[in-house]
Amino acid sequence: MAILDEKVKKQVKEEFKKLKEPVKLIVFSQEVECAYCKETRELLSELAELGELILLEVYDFEKAKEKVERYKIERIPAIVVLAGEEDFGFRYYGVPSGYEFSTLLNVIIMASKRESGLNLKVKEELKKIQNQLELKIFVIPTCPHCPKAAISASRFAFENRNLKVSIIEASEYPYLAQRYGVMGTPKVVINEMMGFEGALPEPLFIQHLLHAQEHLLEKPGMPVGRA
Amino acid sequence: MGSGNGAEQNKHLEGKKMLQIYDLMILGGGAAGLSAGVYSARKLLKTCIIAKEIGGQVLLTSGVENYMGFEFISGPELIQKFEDQLNQFPIEQILGERVERLTRQGEKFLAITEQGKEVLAKSVVVATGKRSRELGATGEKGFAGRGVSYCATCDGPFFKDMPVAVIGGGNSAFETAMDMLKLCPVVYLVNIMDKWQADEILQERVLSDPKLKPMLKSKVKEIKGDDKVRSMVVETKQGDKELEVKGVFVEVGMIPNSEFAKGFLELNSQGEIIVDCHCRTSVAGVFGAGDVTTVPEKQIIISAGEGAKAVLSAYRWLIANQKI
């Protein structure tokens, strides 16, 4: 049975009129599919059929070692979005359902346009991030604030390749939610060490990244705050 | 957790004084404020937007089916479109901060933000909307995001198999209680009033669940814990009761974000800014739009329209008074 109904398909097709260049979606699943793997694979297959510029590749997490290593995939289901062949550091762990479906659409369109869509001031600020920062954004599909945090982070990653972004569906990975003390979403964790909760406006979000970078330079390897 | 609590989290950000004089400053980043921004930019007014967050209450709307041009769109998607449209224009944006005070300074208006930024403008559109009401209980603020939640759909799943409390007696409190009953062994429903305000059908469904512990005429006094919420003290007719809860979901309605305008603009008894049909407030040169005002019907399309109308009124006022 199809995951996307006709009404949603119509809307997605409308949105996909904005696609300009090819986008590759890579799904990591496995032969005996995990709890949400089948759903993720099917959803992405349906999505790929709705836009001519969308290419889909599906790999087995256990067998496709080279791909798993290349894209540094840590768990499944995982989605990688490439702008053509270019990896801009975006990973989605879990099924992008509910509000998070719009996050994925947004990232696909951004990657296809090859443009982050950020305003000039924000782009200038982002240039100040010159160290590698890894962001984990914990989301849940029923959280209306989550796409804002996830989309902002994805746009930052597209603009500045020092940033890597993993969107994690917290209810599918409760052990991660527990490890990072997630009691509300969205929650952003920067380099395993510090973080904040809530969907901040982009300029403030960047200030947190700059703050994290500053502390990393001062005390590399030292935890700087409650994650 | 919901949207960011900027001030607490951003103490490392230094406040800067902004000494430019804008033709128009727009306070608020919801449907009314964003629409006002686009209209102001298209009138070539030198504009500054000050907003705690972009999106406001629209972000909390799961599905919108009555905003023209979209058969169906989620609130966050609609706001993303508003924001992208606004970002086409060169408008100064001060985000993540509330305005703490709005006053007159000579012939201009001065807004001071919570981080001490000062913005001067010849005219103002106030579109600061409404926010979730807080309980005012001891410990509430400190435990926000660590057990106290104002967005059950954002945080609810993290309290699976734990005892929780929902505070409030209206439809949103009952809807939250209904969701939490699916996940939790005990749900206290605490209302300060002597009866429930929710629709009968909701009351029937929720109150008949044996896991639901209703508490009328009860007031939350304190929320206690260490790094997380552990209990809650409730004042009842029989004296104070300490209940073991891990989550406290606050659903006690909305209040207008108009505190900064008290004593400067005329407000009604609910704290809404009184406006006329041209969005004029009690002070010439200051206009109001959207849910923070007395305009009837709180709808996205109405707020967006009011934002546009307020800017057009401000534009006419600026010209008539030879300010531009």
Together in a domain, A77 and A156: no
Pick from B123, B97, B150: which is nearest to B36 by CA?
B123
pTM: 0.81
Cβ of B51 under 8 Å from any chain A Cβ?
yes
Separation between Cα atoms, residue A182 and residue A140, nearest integer Å: 11
Of A147, A183, A199, the CB nearest to B155: A183
* pLDDT tens track for A104-130: 999 999 999 999 988 888 899 999 999
Cβ pairs A/B, distance under 8 A: 129
Residues facing residue B232 across a β-bridge:
B223, B243
A168 touches B at CB < 8 Å? no
CB A183 to CB B1 under 8 A? yes
Which residue has tokens 């949105």?
A: A15
Contact A199 B59 (CB under 8 A): yes
> Do residues A63 and A166 share a domain?
no
Of the residues A60, A86, A115, the one at which a domain ends: A115
What's the rounded Cα separation, in Å, for the pair B230 and B247? 8
Residue B77 has a pLDDT of 86
The reply to whether residue B95 touches residue A184, judged by beta carbons under 8 angstroms, is no
B14 touches chain A (CB under 8 A): no
pLDDT value for A217: 76
Expressed as residue numbers, the domain containing A209 is 117-219
| Cβ atoms within 10 Å, residue A69 | 9
Closest CA to B29 of B66, B64, B79: B79
CA distance A160 to A123: 9
Using the Cβ of A75 and the Cβ atoms of chain B, whether some distance falls under 8 Å is answered with: no
Average of per-residue pLDDT values in chain B = 91
| Judgement on whether residues A125 and A103 belong to the same structural domain of the protein | no
- Whole-angstrom distance, CA of residue A91 vs CA of residue A80: 5
**Cross-strand bridge partners of residue A82:** A24, A87
Return the active site residues of B.
Answer: 151, 154-155
Which H helix or E strand runs over B212?
Answer: strand B212-215
Name the residue in chain B with its Cα closest to that of A188.
B4
B222 and B232 Cβ atoms separated by less than 8 Å: yes
Shared domain check, A131 and A28 = no
Mutate to test the interface with B, among A106, A145, A205 (most CBs of B within 10 A): A145
Examine the pLDDT at B17 and tell me if it is beyond 70.
Answer: no
Q: Is the dihedral of CA B221, B208, B211, B161 positive or negative?
A: negative
CA distance linking residue B119 with residue B6, whole number of Å: 19
> How close B268 comes to chain A (CA, Å)?
31
Instruction: Look at residue A227 and tell me if it is in a domain.
Output: no
Q: Do B1 and A198 touch (CB under 8 A)?
A: yes
Enter the tokens of residue A52: 């001519």
As to burial, measured by CB atoms within 10 angstroms (0-12 exposed, 13-18 middle, 19+ buried), residue B185 is exposed
Q: How far apart are the first and last CA of chain A?
A: 40
CB within 8 Å: A203 and B2: no
Which H or E run contains A211?
A: helix A202-218
Please state the rounded mean pLDDT for residues A169-180: 92
The number of domains in chain A is 2
Strands B130-132 and B254-256: antiparallel
> Are A99 and A13 members of one domain?
yes
Do A199 and B53 lie within an 8 Å CB cutoff? yes
Tens-place pLDDT, residues B165-214: 999 999 999 999 999 999 999 999 999 999 999 999 999 999 999 999 99
Distance CA B29, CA B59 (A): 11
pLDDT band at A144 (very low <50, low <70, confident <90, very high): confident
- pLDDT, greater one: B249 or A204: B249
Q: Are B246 and B147 in contact (CB under 8 A)?
A: yes
Domains along chain B?
7-132+254-320 (3.50.50.60), 148-250 (3.50.50.60)
Q: Does A71 touch chain B (CB under 8 A)?
A: no
Same domain for A121 and A198? yes
CATH assignment at residue A157 = 3.40.30.10
List the single residue in B74, B147, B228 with the smallest CB-CB distance to A102: B74
